[in-house]
């Protein structure tokens, strides 16, 4: 049985490596399409971490929604809209910009890592520990019904709004 | 204790996702690149919720439902932002944040 533990641990490191590889590709690549592929890679790695966190349902949702829908929407946005513009893409950011980015990131990182290391996290006194999809579904449709409806209303509003915005932009410039 | 059984590991991974997103947000020179970076930030927040849900929360369904909301909002945000980017591109012929300066064109 101990072998399975080590296999799971190796998979954990594999997924973590996938996240950071994807993140690196997404922020360093010069072409937007490569950045989207990096984003898809990182989101798949996060789905793997959801498996480790005891929720296969959310892992599949992550693959379905984030990798399947969001990345495809962004890829559509790249293909339909702007023509690839080499000078805007390849223009290397000025030194001030890099300095700003690195200093903002390192300051935030230091601050939050200090919080993470020094804080003591105490688990709740009573934990049901029921990670099953059945329990999740019952909660989603009884106690957290409002959240469930909120997701659907937000998605509906976003889809209708996106259609209207895209249409207005097209009408004003003419065919 | 294995690293995958430790709350701190997941918090550090989520923090690195946040930092990746902020760095990309400052560094990218196009609106779509900034949208991609914002996805990293949102997913870092979702991973945080899932980690606290797994190790600390009294009812494990709550964190999963909140993560579902974050995923829904991320999808809605991507759809709206892509259509806004298309509109900005039709008006300005550019998706460089440095070139889109006027509110009225």
Q: Does the residue A121 lie in any domain? A: no
Instruction: Check pLDDT > 70 for residue A87.
Output: no
A63 close to B (CB below 8 A): no
A118 against A89, higher pLDDT? A118
Which of B24, B80, B91 is the closest to A26 by Cβ? B24
Helices (H), chain B: 7-27, 31-55, 60-92
Q: Does the residue A110 lie in any domain? A: no
Q: Which domains does chain B have, with CATH numbers?
A: 3-92 (1.10.287.3510)
User: Per-residue confidence at B67, pLDDT binned at 50, 70, 90?
Assistant: very high
- Comparing CA positions, the residue from B79, B81, B18, B82 lying closest to residue B47 is B18
pTM of the predicted structure, to 2 decimals: 0.89
Q: What is the interface pTM, i.e. ipTM, of the complex?
A: 0.91
d(Cα A12, Cα A18) in Å, to the nearest integer? 10
Inter-chain touch A151–B2, beta carbons under 8 Å: no
**Helix H or strand E segment including A53:** none
Q: Does the residue A153 lie in any domain? A: yes
Inter-chain touch A16–B13, beta carbons under 8 Å: yes
- The reported pLDDT for the residue numbered A175 is 47
Report the share of chain A in percent with pLDDT over 90.
54
Mean pLDDT score across all residues of chain A: 86
At A3, which CATH number? 1.20.120.1200
Task: State how many domains chain A has.
Answer: 2
Q: Does the residue A99 lie in any domain? A: no
User: Per-residue confidence at A10, pLDDT binned at 50, 70, 90?
Assistant: very high
Contacts of A69 in chain B (CB under 8 A): 75, 78
Closest approach of chain A CAs to the CA of B61, in angstroms?
A: 5
B24 against A174, higher pLDDT? B24
């Amino acid at each position: 049985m101990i072998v399975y533990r080590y296999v799971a641990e190796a998979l954990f490191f594999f997924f973590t490596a996938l996240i950071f590889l994807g993140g690196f590709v997404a922020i360093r690549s010069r072409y937007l399409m490569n950045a989207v592929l990096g984003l898809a890679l990182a989101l798949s790695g996060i789905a793997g971490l959801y498996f480790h966190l005891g929720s296969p349902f959310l892992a599949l949702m992550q693959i379905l929604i984030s990798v399947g829908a969001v990345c495809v929407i962004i890829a559509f946005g790249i293909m339909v809209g702007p023509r690839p513009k080499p000078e805007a893409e390849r223009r290397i950011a000025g030194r001030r910009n890099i300095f700003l980015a690195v200093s903002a990131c390192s300051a935030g990182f230091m601050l939050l890592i200090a919080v993470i290391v020094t804080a003591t996290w105490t688990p709740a006194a009573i934990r049901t520990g029921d990670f099953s999809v059945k329990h999740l579904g019952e909660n989603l449709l009884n106690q957290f019904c409002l959240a469930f409806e909120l997701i659907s209303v937000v998605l509906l509003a976003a889809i209708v709004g996106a259609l209207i915005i895209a249409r207005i932009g097209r009408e004003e410039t003419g065919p | 204790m294995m690293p995958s059984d430790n709350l701190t590991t997941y918090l550090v991974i989520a923090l690195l996702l946040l930092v990746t997103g902020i760095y990309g947000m400052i560094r990218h020179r196009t609106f779509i690149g900034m949208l991609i970076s914002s996805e990293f930030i949102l997913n870092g927040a979702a991973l945080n919720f899932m980690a606290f849900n797994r190790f600390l929360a009294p009812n494990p369904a709550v964190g999963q439902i909140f993560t579902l909301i974050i995923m829904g909002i991320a999808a809605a945000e991507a759809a709206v932002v892509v259509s806004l980017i298309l509109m900005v591109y039709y008006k300005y012929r550019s998706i460089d944040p440095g070139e889109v300066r006027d509110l009225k064109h």
